[in-house]
Structure 1
Amino acid sequence: MPDLQVSSDLRSKFSQFHEIASITGELRKNIDQINKYNEEAAGKDDQFAKAYHANSDGATNNLSQLVDTVRELFGITGDGGDAATGLFDAGEDNATTSASSW
């Protein structure tokens, strides 16, 4: 049976997912600011503003939701990686303790 080997930098690799989630959250803030500028520039009352919003509001909302979902998935992956790393660390500690007690 082959030995299970865990990369020594596993924790740092999974921590990058949290960093990516944070950067994606910043991206969402920028998208919100751009949406605000677009809404202010387009206006609300005249026919051109209504036509603009009819064409762009749905797409900008979809983009915002997509970025939120991506951020969430990166965070979930980072959390899962932290949990897996913790399990590997505990397994290694248990194996060391068991081996030294023989």
Structure 2
Amino acid sequence: MNLKNLYNYNNITVEYKTLVKEKKQNKEKEIQAAILIQKCFRGFVVRKKYLIFKYYIKYMQNQIQMLSCKFLLKKMKKAKSEEQAILYLSDNATKIQKM
């Protein structure tokens, strides 16, 4: 081997080593990028599920509150009608007594 071939061989070896090193660095960057994308996507999915559950919980709370208000309204109407019936009967009793 002459000196020129040896020098070219050395340059090729150095070049190869730098290419291998760059390839490893690029692979590491790709892995980190993939991890970051997965992390962001998983966070997005969790936030989306949270918002959906929050909406349905609020919806259910509103429905339960509406039903309890309807029940209370029926109860109050029934109490009022019973009270009016008692007043009507007592008013009739006083009218009869006045005669």
| TM-score normalised according to structure 1 size | 0.53
Q: CA deviation at 1:50?
A: 0.6
The structure in which a higher percent of residues are helix is: 2
CA distance in 2: counterparts of 1:96 and 1:55, whole angstroms = 61
Q: CA deviation at 1:47?
A: 2.3
1:53-86 deviations in whole A, cap 9, x for unaligned? 2322211100000001101110111011000000
Instruction: Indicate the residue corresponding to 1:57 in structure 2.
Output: 19
Query: Where in structure 2 are there 5+ consecutive unaligned residues?
Result: 1-7, 65-99
Instruction: Indicate the residue corresponding to 1:87 in structure 2.
Output: 49
CA distance in 2: counterparts of 1:96 and 1:79, whole angstroms = 26
Q: Percent identity, aligned pairs only?
A: 2
Counterpart of 2:41, as a letter, is D
CA distance in 2: counterparts of 1:56 and 1:78, whole angstroms = 33
- The alignment yields a C-alpha RMSD, in angstroms, of 1.6
From 19, 32, 36, the equivalent of 1:74 is 36
Matched residue of 1:89: which SS?
helix
- Are 1:47 and 2:9 counterparts? yes
Matched residue of 1:101: which SS?
helix
1:27-68 deviations in whole A, cap 9, x for unaligned? xxxxxxxxxxxxxxxxxxx22321212322211100000001
Aligned length: 58
The structure, 1 or 2, with the larger RCO (C-alpha pairs under 8 Å, 6+ apart) is: 1
Runs of 4+ in 1 over 3 A off after TM superposition: none
Counterpart of 1:70, as a letter, is Q
